[in-house]
C-alpha cells in the first residue's frame, strides 16, 4: 500500500448525533479525488467517543457508498486485546479491506505485551492490518526490536508512525525495509510528509486531505518521483494548514477548518471541545489567505 490515505472525520449534527448524509458527502468527495485509501474510525474520526453500534453504522455507510472504489481501512484498536479482536471481526464482517490498530492505550503494556497483543489479533482474525504507533496518545512506543519481530507476521502489512521525530522515522524505515520489502511505512504527521517520503516512507495517513486530497496526492507523488521543486512548492502551499492543524488536539482544528469552509464536520464530542478565540481566528485567517471561499 502507498500514497495518500485520508483519515476521515466523523461529522456530527448539532445534537452530536451522527451526520450520516454529511459523512456520505465527505466520502464521495474523497472517492472523486481518487485518494489511495480511506481510513474511518481513526483518531481523526473520534472513534473513542463512538458506541459500537455507531462504529458499525459508519463502516456500513463507508462500505456501501464506497463499494470497491478504493480500499477501506477501519480503525479497530481498543484498550484491550479482546475488544480489539471484537472490533476487527466486526470490520471484517462488514467488508473492510484492512484494519488500523493502535497500541492499547492507558494500559501501557511492555514490549512483550505489545507483541503478544498484535500476534494474538493476527491469529484471531483473518484481516490484514496496519499497526499504529502513537506514543503521545497511548503512553507506549513500539520499540525497533519489537517492530522487527512484528514484521515477521504476514498479516501485519504496515505501520503508521506518529512520533513527530524525524530520527525515529529514519530508524523505522532503515530497520523495517531490510526485513521485508513489501511492508508499508506511513507517516501520520502531515507536516512530516515530504521528508518522510523522501527517506523512503510509502505515503501518509492524512487529516489535511479531508480538505485538500488532491494537493496531498500531488505532494506525495512529486516526492516519490524525485521532483523536489514541485514538492517544495506544494509543501509551502500546505504548510500554513499543517501548522494550523496542530494548534489544538486533533481533530479539533481540522473540524474547525471544515466547518468554516461549509463542509460536513459539526461539533466535537466531549471531552474534546470547540476551538474558540485566537486559534479559531488563525484558522479563518489561514483559509482567507489561501483564497478559500468561506461559507
The catalytic residue positions are 132, 160
Q: What is the rounded distance in angstroms from the CA atom of residue 48 to the CA atom of residue 66?
A: 23
Beta bridge partners of 185: 159
Q: How far apart are CA 244 and CA 190, in angstroms?
A: 11
Cα–Cα distance for residue pair 141/242, rounded to 1 Å: 24
CA atoms within 13 A on the CB side of 14: 0
- Alpha-carbon gap, residue 68 to 88, rounded angstroms: 19
Cα 186 from Cα 7, distance rounded (Å): 12
Taking a C-beta distance cutoff of 8 angstroms, is the pair 92, 129 a contact?
no
CA–CA distance, 132 with 242 (Å, rounded to integer): 20
Q: Write down the residue that cell numbers 455507510 correspond to.
A: 61
Amino acid at each position: 500500500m502507498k500514497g495518500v490515505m485520508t483519515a476521515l472525520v466523523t461529522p456530527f449534527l448539532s445534537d452530536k448525533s451522527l451526520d450520516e448524509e454529511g459523512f456520505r458527502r465527505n466520502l464521495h468527495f474523497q472517492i472523486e479525488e481518487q485518494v489511495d485509501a480511506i481510513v474511518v474510525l481513526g483518531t481523526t474520526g473520534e472513534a473513542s467517543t463512538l458506541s459500537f453500534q455507531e462504529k458499525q453504522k459508519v463502516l456500513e455507510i463507508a462500505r456501501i457508498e464506497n463499494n470497491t472504489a478504493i480500499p477501506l481501512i477501519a480503525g479497530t484498536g481498543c484498550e484491550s486485546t479482546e475488544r480489539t479482536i471484537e472490533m476487527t471481526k466486526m470490520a471484517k464482517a462488514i467488508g473492510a479491506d484492512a484494519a488500523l490498530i493502535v497500541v492499547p492505550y492507558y494500559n501501557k503494556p511492555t514490549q512483550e505485551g505489545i507483541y503478544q497483543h498484535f500476534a494474538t489479533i493476527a491469529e484471531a482474525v483473518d484481516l490484514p492490518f496496519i499497526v499504529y504507533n502513537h506514543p503521545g496518545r497511548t503512553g507506549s512506543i513500539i520499540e525497533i526490536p519489537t517492530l522487527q519481530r512484528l514484521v515477521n507476521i504476514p498479516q501485519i502489512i504496515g505501520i503508521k508512525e506518529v512520533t513527530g521525530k524525524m530520527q525515529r522515522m529514519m530508524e523505522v524505515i532503515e530497520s523495517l525495509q531490510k526485513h521485508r520489502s513489501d511492508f508499508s511505512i506511513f507517516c501520520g504527521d502531515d507536516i512530516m510528509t515530504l521528508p518522510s517520503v523522501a527517506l523512503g516512507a510509502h505515503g501518509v495517513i492524512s487529516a489535511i486531505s479531508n480538505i485538500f486530497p488532491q494537493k496531498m496526492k500531488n505532494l506525495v507523488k512529486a516526492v516519490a518521483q524525485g521532483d523536489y521543486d514541485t514538492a517544495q512548492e506544494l509543501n509551502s502551499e500546505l504548510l500554513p494548514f499543517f501548522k494550523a492543524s496542530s494548534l489544538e488536539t486533533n481533530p479539533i482544528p481540522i473540524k474547525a477548518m471544515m466547518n468554516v469552509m461549509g463542509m460536513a464536520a459539526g461539533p466535537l464530542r466531549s471531552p474534546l471541545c470547540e476551538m474558540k478565540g485566537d486559534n479559531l481566528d488563525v484558522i479563518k485567517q489561514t483559509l482567507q489567505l489561501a483564497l478559500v471561499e468561506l461559507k
